[in-house]
Amino acid sequence: MATEKTARFEELTRLASDFVTAQKGLWDHAAWTDFLSNVRKKGFDISDEMKTNLGELLEAMKGFYSAAASTKSVEKAMKGVVNESATFVKQHKGVWGHTDWEDFVKTVRQNTQTVSEGTMTYVGGILESMKVFYALSPVAAVQKRVSAARASSSAAAAPAPIAEKKVEAKPAEAKAAPKSRPEGAAKKDDLTVISGVGPALAKKLNGAGITSYAQIAALSEADVAQLDKSLNCKGRIKRDDWVGQAKKLS
């Protein structure tokens, strides 16, 4: 089963990489529709969630392709980065820490000379998108997996609030939490589940007091602009729609 899963993962990333390279980083709706049709022919079940995740992967690859377009061998660089990313995700089974990420950056820069500090941002986006697909079975959607995990976690935590009927002020506190640094009872979510948030960014968000999907989902336009500036995200928060993703997750 593991072999089948990794084989499907590799096939999907290859299809995405080949599409971006063939289109030279530019495509219209008709080309996108043809790509989806080709993916379906390969046996992948394209749900709305799958379509969204595919779009995010293509956009991340497009960003890298555009950033490296001035080099002599952009197609070779693209293939190299995609292969390095796929190998890394498989080796770590879709889960890694900040030290692993730093080692990955060193490896990519050694093997792909065109990867600069600027293009590494797009490589991170490719890696995060691939992590989502690795977590999927060949036909499942990541949201189902995440929702099931959260439902299980909620069910396990349910007895505590029911046993203490006195604590009726907690709902009001929970509503206030997303906008500010969470109190001791605040939940800590895995923010790297959000596409575009790598281990390094997750650490920065935690340092800024943001530890849950609910907090990100509650961000206003002004909050997003301020957070983007303080974390030097260069528009990534709005571009990757962290707020929309967080709303689905929470």
Quick one: 110 and 18 in the same domain? yes
**Cα separation values, 35 from 17, 45, 58, 68, 206, Å:** 11, 13, 11, 23, 38
Question: What pTM value is reported for the model?
Answer: 0.49
Question: What pLDDT digit, counting tens, does each position of 195-237 carry?
Answer: 888 888 888 888 778 888 888 888 888 888 888 888 888 888 8
CA–CA separation, 46 and 37 (whole Å): 9
Boundary-marking domain end, from 135, 159, 176: 135
Question: What pLDDT digit, counting tens, does each position of 108-155 carry?
Answer: 777 765 566 667 777 888 888 787 777 764 433 333 444 454 555 555
Q: Determine the pLDDT at residue 141.
A: 37
Tokens coding 150: 């959260």
Quick one: 179 and 87 in the same domain? no
Asked if the structure places residue 146 within a domain, the reply is: no
**Rounded-to-5 percentages of helix, strand, coil across the chain:** 70, 0, 30
Number of domains comprising the chain:
2
Give which of 214, 191, 188 is closest to 202, Cα–Cα. Answer: 191
Quick one: 199 and 106 in the same domain? no
Q: Determine the pLDDT at residue 70.
A: 63
Boundary-marking domain end, from 135, 160, 186: 135
CA–CA separation, 189 and 211 (whole Å): 6
Asked if the structure places residue 41 within a domain, the reply is: yes
Instruction: Please give the share of the chain, as a percent, with pLDDT higher than 90.
Output: 3
Domain region containing 77: 2-135
Quick one: 126 and 21 in the same domain? yes
Asked if the structure places residue 18 within a domain, the reply is: yes
CA–CA separation, 62 and 23 (whole Å): 10
Boundary-marking domain end, from 135, 153, 178: 135
CA–CA separation, 118 and 112 (whole Å): 14
Quick one: 129 and 172 in the same domain? no
Q: Determine the pLDDT at residue 72.
A: 60
Residue showing tokens 């890694």: 96
Residue 177 carries which DSSP code?
G
What average pLDDT does range 5-14 have in this prediction?
80
For residue 19, name the pLDDT band (cuts at 50, 70, 90): very high
Quick one: 26 and 101 in the same domain? yes
Asked if the structure places residue 124 within a domain, the reply is: yes
